[in-house]
Amino acid sequence: MSSTAAPGVVASVHLWRVPTTAVPQALGHMATDRLRLRGQPGLRFAKLLGTGSGRTFTLRDADPHRWALLTVWVDEAAAAGFDSGCVVAGWRRIAEEQWTALLRPQASRGRWSRREPFGSPVPAPWDGPVAAITRARLAPARAGRFWRAVPPVSAELHRTPGLLLALGIGEAPLGLQGTFSLWRSAAALNEFAYQRPAHLDAVRRTGIEGWYAEELFARFALLSSRGTVGGSDPLSRRGS
């Protein structure tokens, strides 16, 4: 399959918050839904993810009540068909809160599990909210230096005007780390990415110190969303 994203390719992010009594069922879904995802019509890529605050990227951040699913589809019709299917329905039965976003890839570099999940999209004009996904597999010998660098960047992130939502995401408690963030505009995301000192220093040190064995950064246009996170629609927040 070509690595260049076709015009119709979309990604979807599902977030579910479950009550304490349903945490064992959520863990069960994390184990069994991998099999259910295989063979889904139009599916290009999928990852079941745990979430956390992303403030330290250690076990202290982990939130056993909130879980995520990232999927990439050949087009919006395939994404819509999956959204009404059995995998999503299973999570909805146990969730006390849910939020879903449909995203159009605008830029992507790097790899996730040795794949380019979003291809090589061509940026298109967009003046609405945007999202960003980062993901990295840490080089074990350099993990300590990475973790020490995270808190200043996280604090800077949460102070940046225009941020609507930020979560840590990961496939494992340690070593496989990522973030999902939602922004009022591309300008707000660019301010954090290119003007905030702690983040710029972390980017510089990444190249020098070789923190990552594999890394990916992608940004997206937010086509639509529904539901709530923490009791409110992220798009209704002031983002400042």
Q: What is the pLDDT of residue 145?
A: 65
Residue 3: pLDDT band (50, 70, 90) is very low
Report pLDDT digits (tens) over 34-71: 999 998 999 999 999 999 876 655 566 789 999 999 99
Residue 230 has pLDDT above 70, yes or no: yes
Greater model confidence, 208 or 48: 48
- Higher model confidence: residue 211 or residue 69? 69
- Looking at residues 197-221, what average pLDDT do you find? 73
pLDDT attached to residue 79: 97
In three-state form (DSSP H/G/I as H, E/B as E, the rest C), the secondary structure along the chain is CCCCCCCCCEEEEEEEECCHHHHHHHHHHHHHHHHHHCCCCCEEEEEEEEEECCCCCCHHHEEEEEEEEEEEECCHHHHHHHHCCHHHHHHHHHCCEEEEEEEEEEEEEECECCECCCCCCCCCCCCCCEEEEEEEEECHHHHHHHHHHHHHHHHHHHHCCCEEEEEEEECCCCCEEEEEEEECCHHHHHHHHHHCHHHHHHHHHHHHHCCEEEEEEEEEEEEEEEECECCECHHHCCCC
Tell me the two tokens of residue 87. 């995998």
- What is the average pLDDT score of the chain? 85
Q: 1 pLDDT band (50/70/90 cuts)?
A: very low
- pLDDT the model gives residue 162: 93
The CATH code belonging to domain 10-225 is 3.30.70.100
Using one digit for the tens of pLDDT, what is the confidence trace for 93-130?
A: 999 999 999 999 999 999 999 999 999 898 888 999 99
Q: Where are the domains of the chain?
A: 10-225
Q: Which segment of 103-107, 159-163, 230-234 scores lowest on mean pLDDT?
A: 159-163
Q: Looking at residue 122, what is its pLDDT?
A: 86
Question: Mean of the pLDDT values across residues 129-143?
Answer: 80
